[in-house]
Structure 1
Amino acid sequence: MRISNLSVSCIENLSNELLYEIFDYLDGNDIFEIFSNLNYRFQYLITCSSIPFKIKFRSHTTSQLIDCCKTVIVPNRHHILSLNFEGGSLIDNFFKHCIIDSSFTRLQSVVLSNVSINRVVSLLFYLRSLPHLFSLNMSIREEEYFDLSDIYRIIFTLPSLKYNKLSLCLEYDEEDTNISIPLALNEQFSTIEYMVINHICTPDKLMSILCHTPQLHHLICETLEEIEPASTNEQSITLSNLVYIRINNCQIDFDRFEMFMKKVSSQLQVLRVKQKYDKAYLDADRWKRLIKNYIPNLQEFIYEYPGYEYNDYETTSLDTNFNQFISPFWVNKGWIFELGINNKEISFSIHPHKKKWFDVDGNTENVPIRKNTDNALTPFIPTSQLVISGCSSTEQNQTFIDDFKALFVAIQFTHLNINCEKVPIEMLIRIIQLLPNLDSLKVSCMPIMQSAWLFSIDRDLFFQTSINNKIKKVHLEKIIEIEQLNFLLFLCNYMQYFQVDCGKDMDLEPIVRHILMKTRIYIPHLTCLHLNVQSGNEEMVYNLQRLIENEKLLNKYTIKRISDNIILRWN
């Protein structure tokens, strides 16, 4: 009895401000169901205060929806911040018992899911009366040809709209969807700043939409497709605020893409494009001209060319195209070329360098570190990355090497990220041998190594590779046992930086002892050990300090913890 009274007392003693924060995480229907008529204070808070309600209709029965409209929505319409409808039948039933009008003075966000095309226009007319509607997310279902022109035209008249997402849920080809919205004389432009076009759109239709949104600064287009001859109408457009474009599925040829970008991209800062239909997109010099002449403010460029069969392209052509992306123009911008290989499927991408390494002071840098001739650590950005996820089978190892040897030799890869779950250790060695420009290596899913692992591989190949490679930074994604360390320590004689990801309950002392003892003879260049530890704490740091001091493993060193990272460095 005493515990129960204490619990009620604690809830009652919470301030109104804290209760408002709790209410902000709850659905408005749940707030009324839980706290209505509980006591005078809570009744006052939910009926007389200015608390905003977020209402979400999921699987309400008709009677539940009617009750919600009568007891929650209508009496508190001036408190409602958002309405979210999951299903067309809910929407139809709701508007039979409640009308959205200008009395919903605080309503800022509306989500209409799976709404019938026959209801969209009438619903939008209701929404036009809302003075503070900032966000509209709508998905439309239909089974026949229809025209989106009127829908977009009404959306553009919503007086305060900042965010708009329109999706189509269709059971037929979207090619039959029409969009044509010519500008009228003295027409008032839309206030939309962030727009998601979650349906197929041609460049001409997209331009028809964009000419109504001069304040737009973010544009996401799901599919840009050329399904009709390009219009001869040279429509002028001014989008001086547009800084972000993402096209998730670009199916137009590069000539058409260039035409579109030249019209809209003068202020663009971020461009993301995924495309796999036109080899002209692999022309780095053409991209360079487009960016320098028409997108001079571009800061972030992400281009993805998803997987295709390697045999579909001539090797010599690929070598030439890929090497263009490691020229000074791309390197100076910090845009990295990446080639991915999974069996015989390859993918290609350009993206900003994202890998984070810790510098000698323990700070997180956006670039790795390289030791120069003066023995100082300086930033280094890899020009090209190779990511290998696997090969078909052990029997096909030689075939895998033969297939991709020309690419490995021709392209100056500086970073290798390899998943050894499907790549045998001996193949890892052979791949490294073919990549003389490697500066860094990341290994994941490394197999358990037998104590006599050196006798189970080609020793001449191993020793030749260990002598010739110049890998300076190594990342072992997850250590299972010490022999994995031995393999990498012996393989990478020039290692300066070693990152090891450790499990939550792993004993760090044997790992650090083993690495530091090997450093004296086998890896004299190593000066930084980075342990990534789940739930790292200061006790771990203290124990490692005690180990180093007691066993005199290092003379001059520093050690610090940054979150789950323990950084040990020495001279």
Structure 2
Amino acid sequence: MLGVGKKHGCAAQEIMNANPRVQLWKMQTGDTFYVPAGNKCTFNQLTIILLHAPRLSHLHCVNIIESKDHSKSELMIKLHSLTHLTMTLYNLEFDDFEEFLLKLCSPLQLFDAKIKSRDRSYLNADRWERFISQNMTSLIRFTFRYSDIIDDEFELTFYHSLINRFTSSFSIDRKWFFKLFIEENELIYSIRQYQETWIDFQEYLHINQNTKNNINDSLNPYFPVVELSIIRTCLTENDEPLINKINFIFNMIKVTYLDIECDQMTVSMLITILHSLINLNSITLSNSALCQQMDLSIRDKIIFNAFLNTNKISKITLQNVTENDQIESIFKYFPRIHFLDYNV
């Protein structure tokens, strides 16, 4: 049932009467609002609620949708205590989201936005930088996730050419790490706080034996800039045209770290992806075909040999690799290895 504190009950009830599917839950600790995933809410409805919650500090809304009523509220929401904002948006344009954020007048410190929308302007990194610099001056942690559907209709746009700006000094200085996911049929663009790995730490110690700089120092030339993670995706030769489409993105943002957790990927597809990542220097393999005896076609042998002759991979993490001959295969393919992390 609906759980609402007395201070916010009136506003919540009005919205409930207008739309029974919208429920507002009041968490038991602190002034936190949480709109559950099974309930939909528009910005106009949320604005009415927030006007009655001036001391709100944490706001979680996981199903914000486009309003059928295109009229927009002109009310300003002065939430001077709001420091944590988490939102998931569906089919909303960046202009509408930006307008809502401007109304908050809040000293946000943590901002988490997950977006599923056809509006590719969310990928305009320069626009995000301007907005944050001018309107979120207290922001410390920024988490961003935008999903692109990879299908036959997928096409690159002008905004895709701007995503390399997510790796600018503005982001690196704040330890905001850009990452790409290929997950099932989605290409996901993500920003999260940087977390060093074991290999990063070992290399840092090797390079900086005589210094005491912080490991997260953005001046460290081994700070990993862009990661590509391929998860639960059954990629076959039939998907090669799609990979060729997004190959432009791989090269433009200079993917340096690859994490593959996909034992169903064909050898040919894996070789195609490796060959396309010309800036790769680190890789994590889990149950990978590279750890097994490979029966390659002539075409794949040519591509794979070209990759082996030019690759710069020096840091490897192995997951679920147990046989000695599997490890020997990795050393044969990647003779430049300096750092190896081995997890069974």
TM-score, normalization by structure 2: 0.79
Q: How does 1:190-229 map to 2 (within 5 A)?
A: 193-198=31-36, 199-227=39-67, 228-229=69-70
Q: CA deviation at 1:297?
A: 1.3
Q: How does 1:527-546 map to 2 (within 5 A)?
A: none
- Match for residue 223 of structure 2? 381
The amino acid that maps onto 1:406 is F
Q: CA deviation at 1:477?
A: 1.4
Q: CA deviation at 1:336?
A: 2.2
Q: CA deviation at 1:326?
A: 1.9
The amino acid that maps onto 1:410 is M
Of 89, 94, 110 in structure 2, the residue corresponding to residue 249 of structure 1 is 89
- Match for residue 488 of structure 1? 330
Q: CA deviation at 1:369?
A: 4.0
Residue 272 (1) aligns with residue 129 (2): no
- Partners of 1:347 and 1:269 in 2: how far apart? 24
- Match for residue 76 of structure 2? 236
The amino acid that maps onto 1:489 is F
Cα distance change, pair 407–255 in 1 and its aligned pair in 2 (3 A): closer
Provide, for residues 163-216 of structure 1, a one-character-per-residue CA deviation record: whole Å limited to 9, x for no partner: xxxx98x9xx9588699xxxxxxxxxxx96111123332223222222222221
- Kept in 2: contact 1:282–1:322 (CA 8 A): yes
The amino acid that maps onto 1:293 is Q
- Partners of 1:249 and 1:237 in 2: how far apart? 19
Cα distance change, pair 427–299 in 1 and its aligned pair in 2 (3 A): same
Residue 470 (1) aligns with residue 308 (2): no
Q: Secondary structure at the match of 1:214?
A: coil
Cα distance change, pair 201–426 in 1 and its aligned pair in 2 (3 A): closer
Q: Secondary structure at the match of 2:139?
A: coil
- Partners of 1:292 and 1:401 in 2: how far apart? 35
- Kept in 2: contact 1:390–1:423 (CA 8 A): no
The amino acid that maps onto 1:287 is W
Q: How does 1:83-232 map to 2 (within 5 A)?
A: 113=1, 136=3, 152-153=9-10, 174=19, 193-198=31-36, 199-227=39-67, 228-231=69-72
- Match for residue 260 of structure 1? 100
- Partners of 1:444 and 1:395 in 2: how far apart? 20
Q: Secondary structure at the match of 2:258?
A: strand
Cα distance change, pair 454–287 in 1 and its aligned pair in 2 (3 A): same
Of 267, 272, 290 in structure 2, the residue corresponding to residue 425 of structure 1 is 267
Cα distance change, pair 202–328 in 1 and its aligned pair in 2 (3 A): same
- Partners of 1:417 and 1:241 in 2: how far apart? 39
- Match for residue 437 of structure 1? 279
Report which structure shows greater RCO (CA 8 Å, sep ≥6). Answer: 2
- Partners of 1:355 and 1:435 in 2: how far apart? 22
Cα distance change, pair 206–453 in 1 and its aligned pair in 2 (3 A): closer
When Rg is computed on C-alpha atoms for both structures, the one with the higher figure is: 1
- Kept in 2: contact 1:472–1:495 (CA 8 A): yes
- Partners of 2:208 and 2:331 in 1: how far apart? 22
- Partners of 1:305 and 1:372 in 2: how far apart? 35
Residue 321 (1) aligns with residue 168 (2): no
Unaligned runs of 5+ in 1: 1-112, 116-135, 139-149, 157-166, 180-190, 362-367, 503-571
The amino acid that maps onto 1:197 is V
Provide, for residues 28-54 of structure 1, a one-character-per-residue CA deviation record: whole Å limited to 9, x for no partner: xxxxxxxxxxxxxxxxxxxxxxxxxxx
- Match for residue 414 of structure 1? 256
Cα distance change, pair 271–474 in 1 and its aligned pair in 2 (3 A): same
Q: CA deviation at 1:255?
A: 1.4
- Match for residue 125 of structure 2? 284
Q: Secondary structure at the match of 2:149?
A: strand
- Kept in 2: contact 1:219–1:244 (CA 8 A): yes
Query: When the two structures are aligned, how many residues end up with a matched partner?
Result: 327
Structure 1 vs Structure 2 CA RMSD: 3.8
Q: CA deviation at 1:322?
A: 2.3
Provide, for residues 328-351 of structure 1, a one-character-per-residue CA deviation record: whole Å limited to 9, x for no partner: 222222222222224653222222
- Partners of 1:310 and 1:317 in 2: how far apart? 18
- Kept in 2: contact 1:326–1:383 (CA 8 A): yes
Q: CA deviation at 1:416?
A: 0.8
TM-score, normalization by structure 1: 0.50
Which stretch of the first structure deviates more once superposed, 397-406 or 422-431? 397-406
Q: Secondary structure at the match of 1:213?
A: coil
Cα distance change, pair 155–252 in 1 and its aligned pair in 2 (3 A): closer
- Kept in 1: contact 2:286–2:321 (CA 8 A): no
The amino acid that maps onto 1:353 is Y
The amino acid that maps onto 1:193 is D
Q: Secondary structure at the match of 2:47?
A: helix
- Match for residue 347 of structure 1? 188
- Partners of 1:497 and 1:178 in 2: how far apart? 51
- Partners of 1:340 and 1:406 in 2: how far apart? 15
- Partners of 2:250 and 2:76 in 1: how far apart? 46
- Kept in 2: contact 1:319–1:411 (CA 8 A): no
- Partners of 1:403 and 1:496 in 2: how far apart? 33
- Partners of 2:133 and 2:40 in 1: how far apart? 29
Of 337, 340, 344 in structure 2, the residue corresponding to residue 498 of structure 1 is 340
- Match for residue 304 of structure 1? 145
- Kept in 2: contact 1:466–1:493 (CA 8 A): no
- Kept in 2: contact 1:343–1:400 (CA 8 A): no
The amino acid that maps onto 1:411 is I
- Match for residue 519 of structure 1? none
Q: Secondary structure at the match of 1:242?
A: coil
Unaligned runs of 5+ in 2: none
The amino acid that maps onto 2:100 is F
Q: CA deviation at 1:490?
A: 2.4
Provide, for residues 374-413 of structure 1, a one-character-per-residue CA deviation record: whole Å limited to 9, x for no partner: 9989653322221223665644264454344333333311
